[in-house]
Structure 1
Amino acid sequence: MLSYTTYLNHSTLPWVTFIDGAGGIFSIWKKQLPEFQRHYNVLVVELKEEYSPFHTVEDLNIDRISNGILHVLETENIVKSHFIGLSLGTVFIRNFALRYPGYVESMVLAGAIIKINYRLRFLFWVQKLGEKILSFSSQFNFFLYSLLPNRNHKESRSFLMERARKWDNEEFLKWCRFTKKLNPILNYLYSEKSDIPCLYIMGEEDKLFLSSVRKISSSKSGSLLFIIQDCGHIVNLEQEELFNKMVIGYIVGIEGVSEVVRPDLEDFSNCSPEEVLIANSNNHSKK
């Protein structure tokens, strides 16, 4: 079974499920959990197995992980949830939503990966060349600075460097090999029609993934794109207040809950999906 943690608020409140990126880094949501626990029941699913870890890239089967998520929901009697994912977590959410749409109220895909583009393929090519001569830490730092190159990305880099100390070379290579083979899966996931509402949240400085998300979000009905300025790939750490406000506001709009019914959400009632579109439009006009 996938590792997971639940935070119960009240049985009548909606569920929000967080799914992280590579390696099952639970604490990537440290700046979201306090706020979301105030308003929702929260489930955090980690991309690692509790008793039988993903030892090889073959173990990282996308359908196996979707089945693992389903098993967690069934174990906790969660019949429907809003899903929030980061980076590779967005791939697993998208697959789960296609396989089990009845469980998904909405999707929030932050730092979404929807295409392994030529830049990323080049990085994997360089990494492959240096695989036998460079240490794990050197390879990891190469990817990290390629993904988060700017000075204002320092907090995200430091956070990931600290967490990666628990990894070994095989763990890193396993996720690299899994990611670079994703394009056929991504092509399928984003060619299939889905009626589930979807909000993409991307950093303006996410040079590896933003351009692909722009294209796909404009062509999909029911999809919105919010771009956070002065922000890189790890949007939930670099701009946590804005991220939390926009995500909760989006969920409020999906739920159609008024501040009369939920006074705790009064501060978020002006962040409906329509307002997210306006914020996105304003960001575009400043470029």
Structure 2
Amino acid sequence: MLHYKTYQLVEPGAPWVVFVHGAGGSSSIWFLQIKEFIRHFNVLLVDLRGHGRSKAVAGSKEDRHYNFEDITRDILEVLDSLKIREAHFIGISLGTILIRNLSELAPERVSSMVMGGAIIRLNVRAKVLVTLGNMFKRVVPYMWLYSFFAWIIMPRERHKKSRLLFVNEAKKVAQKEFMRWFRLTYELTPLLRYFEEKDTGIPTLYLMGEEDHMFLPAVRIIITRHTNSFLQVITNSGHVCNVDQPVEFNHRAIMFLQEISGGMDAVAGIEEAAPACLVAC
């Protein structure tokens, strides 16, 4: 089972929030969120396979070559062990893909989704990066590849903190495990195309940095096609907006989750609080 950590510091029966990190990261990337969220919610942090304190999978060939469904079911296994029937989910980067996949496998477990730095579609630049990565992954040290990708996705000086955080976390991932995760890129395009076509109807808030040049344009499109989907753009922030602008990220995410209990009419009311930043379907 995945390594996880829980914070149950609020009254019994409080809703759960599950945080899902991206590839190469770990649950430690949420250190700027924990203090604020545990004031309102029970919190569950997980380390994905081969990341943080979760061990890499060993054994049969089938285990060694896993897919997005395998990784998503790891999260469900933790929920089952803790008897969490339903939760809000917050993800960053590739973690948003896993949350979206979880909403397909077990929609009854997902109260809402907050997608930070959401990956909705691969643009031309992203596809070129993935192709180059697959071409050179066996001849170029994997940390060179990861560092290069991190710089392309988060190129500005104010993204440096986020970039270094993810690179330093990625150093803890074994090279073989990195290769397993990189193989998942072959699944990305068809999976993302399916997600774009399928509307879950689950309340979803996309929190995107205004400088997330790789992925923000696709999110602007998808919220016009999916019901109960909202976008808030955080200024002076790049792809990893929970680290670049944690105060804004926390405030917007918590406000959204609290409004869920008031129905989607109340959620739509958030637009009045931040008219320049929110786009709603």
- TM-score greater than 0.5 by the shorter chain: yes
Partner residue of 1:179?
185
Instruction: Identify which of 114, 117, 129 aligns with 1:111.
Output: 117
Aligned-partner Cα distance in 1 for 2:191–2:201 = 19
Give the 5 Å matches for 1:66-77. 66-77=72-83
Per the TM alignment, residue 175 of structure 1 is displaced from its structure 2 partner at its CA by: 2.4
- 2:38 is aligned with 1:37: yes
- 2:153 is aligned with 1:152: no
Per the TM alignment, residue 281 of structure 1 is displaced from its structure 2 partner at its CA by: 4.5
Q: What secondary structure sits across from 1:47 in the alignment?
A: coil
Amino acid at match of 1:29: W
- 2:68 is aligned with 1:62: yes
Distance of aligned partners of 1:180 and 1:152 in 2 relative to their CA distance in 1, 3 Å threshold: farther
Aligned-partner Cα distance in 1 for 2:169–2:273 = 33
Query: Is the Cα contact below 8 Å between 1:18 and 1:85 reproduced in 2?
Result: yes
Aligned-partner Cα distance in 2 for 1:205–1:273 = 25
Partner residue of 2:47?
46
Aligned-partner Cα distance in 2 for 1:242–1:170 = 37
Partner residue of 1:166?
172
Partner residue of 1:5?
5
Query: Is the Cα contact below 8 Å between 2:19 and 2:44 reproduced in 1?
Result: yes
Partner residue of 1:263?
none
Amino acid at match of 2:160: K
Amino acid at match of 1:19: V
Per the TM alignment, residue 160 of structure 1 is displaced from its structure 2 partner at its CA by: 1.4
Distance of aligned partners of 1:212 and 1:51 in 2 relative to their CA distance in 1, 3 Å threshold: closer
Aligned-partner Cα distance in 1 for 2:159–2:269 = 27
With structure 1 as the length reference, what TM-score do the two structures score?
Answer: 0.86
Partner residue of 1:14?
15
Partner residue of 1:282?
276
Distance of aligned partners of 1:141 and 1:5 in 2 relative to their CA distance in 1, 3 Å threshold: same
Q: What secondary structure sits across from 1:282 in the alignment?
A: coil
Q: What secondary structure sits across from 2:197 in the alignment?
A: coil
Query: Is the Cα contact below 8 Å between 1:203 and 1:234 reproduced in 2?
Result: yes
Per the TM alignment, residue 172 of structure 1 is displaced from its structure 2 partner at its CA by: 3.0
- 2:211 is aligned with 1:211: no
Identity %: 37
Give the 5 Å matches for 1:256-267. 256=262
With structure 2 as the length reference, what TM-score do the two structures score?
Answer: 0.88
Partner residue of 2:195?
189
Amino acid at match of 2:19: F
Distance of aligned partners of 1:176 and 1:240 in 2 relative to their CA distance in 1, 3 Å threshold: same
Count matched residues. 271
Distance of aligned partners of 1:47 and 1:275 in 2 relative to their CA distance in 1, 3 Å threshold: same
Query: Is the Cα contact below 8 Å between 2:65 and 2:180 reproduced in 1?
Result: no
Per the TM alignment, residue 22 of structure 1 is displaced from its structure 2 partner at its CA by: 0.8
Per the TM alignment, residue 180 of structure 1 is displaced from its structure 2 partner at its CA by: 4.5
Distance of aligned partners of 1:60 and 1:209 in 2 relative to their CA distance in 1, 3 Å threshold: farther
Aligned Cα root-mean-square deviation (Å): 2.4
Q: What do the CA deviations read for 1:137-185 (whole angstroms, capped 9, x no partner)?
A: 3222211110100011011111112212213433333323213431111
Amino acid at match of 2:185: T
Aligned-partner Cα distance in 1 for 2:196–2:273 = 24
Unaligned stretches of 5+ residues in structure 2: none
Give the 5 Å matches for 1:239-250. 239-250=245-256
Aligned-partner Cα distance in 2 for 1:206–1:54 = 32
Q: What secondary structure sits across from 1:181 in the alignment?
A: helix
Partner residue of 1:268?
none
Query: Is the Cα contact below 8 Å between 1:144 and 1:157 reproduced in 2?
Result: yes
Amino acid at match of 1:22: A
Aligned-partner Cα distance in 2 for 1:67–1:284 = 32
Which deviates further from its counterpart, 64-73 or 236-245? 64-73
Distance of aligned partners of 1:58 and 1:222 in 2 relative to their CA distance in 1, 3 Å threshold: farther
Per the TM alignment, residue 191 of structure 1 is displaced from its structure 2 partner at its CA by: 1.8
